[in-house]
Amino acid sequence: MTGPHGVGIGWRPEIAGFVADLPGLRFVEVVAEGVTATGPLPAGLATLRERGVTVVPHGVRLSLGGAEPVDPARVAHLGAVAELVGAPLVSEHIAFVRAGGVEAGHLLPLPRSREAVDAVCANVARAQAELPVPIALEPIAALFDWPDDELDEADFLTEILDRTGAFLLLDIANVYANARNRSADPVALLDRLPLDRVSYVHVAGGTDHGGYYHDTHTDPVPPAVLDLLRELCARHRPPALLLERDGHYPPAPVLRAELDALAAASGFPVVT
């Protein structure tokens, strides 16, 4: 699969100037719902495209895990954004964001049941039939498990990937968060995932609060997440890593240091 390579960063308007000044940058991710499907692209994003930087649209509203069929208009928007930016693939979450017409406003976890697997696979197939490029699926961070889980996380994800043929967007910070909050071993999960299906990896920060680890995207990447990234790369280095930061943006030198830390942990060239 032709896709992103090396170390990238999530493009946000608030840090567009910082991103534009990264000399070795090869790819960014943009929230698909924040881009007008008919164009024009935000100026900073258009400039990156002209430089040859790969842009991957990342959806947050498809609700692939919902009981209802995905909204064709939302799928069409994601596909149109992919074509607008010349993307090699798109990504979305294994989660639901609405039910019975009610919008949750958050990515919500699914019960790891056979019924949920069927629902996800059906919606992914509906999306794949309309999208112009492949899709990568991202498991989310969750603070709880449903009482009717029938599968563990590795079996749940592997079955969805096998049945849909989709790629895996692995969020290593989510792996860490879920393991911390379930008192589980994150390395044991890595050893059971189909790492050859990973298209790229998210890396983000978080914080402890109320006895749980919260994947905030607004805090620094903790050393434990970088250690887990090293464990991942020792097993199967993914094609690309992406730093996610969605608020509380630190000074430019701090962001550059986080990007350098991703490069050092993976062996990819620095982009700063």
pLDDT mean over 76-102? 90
CB contact set of 115 (below 8 Å; sequence gap of 6+): none
pTM above threshold 0.85:
yes
Q: What kind and span of H or E run contains 202?
A: strand 198-203
pLDDT tens-digit map of 176-211: 998 988 888 999 999 999 999 999 999 999 988 888
Q: For residue 253, is pLDDT > 60?
A: yes
Q: For residue 148, is pLDDT > 80?
A: no
C-alpha pair distances (Å), 130 with each of 80, 108, 127: 10, 24, 5
Q: Which CATH number describes the domain made up of 6-266? A: 3.20.20.150
Residues 197/160, Cβ–Cβ less than 8 Å: no
| pLDDT in the model for residue 182 | 85
d(CA 184, CA 157): 17
Cα pseudo-dihedral 102, 107, 169, 211, rounded to 10: -160
| pLDDT in the model for residue 106 | 66
Q: For residue 54, is pLDDT > 60?
A: yes
- Cα 67 to chain centroid, rounded: 22
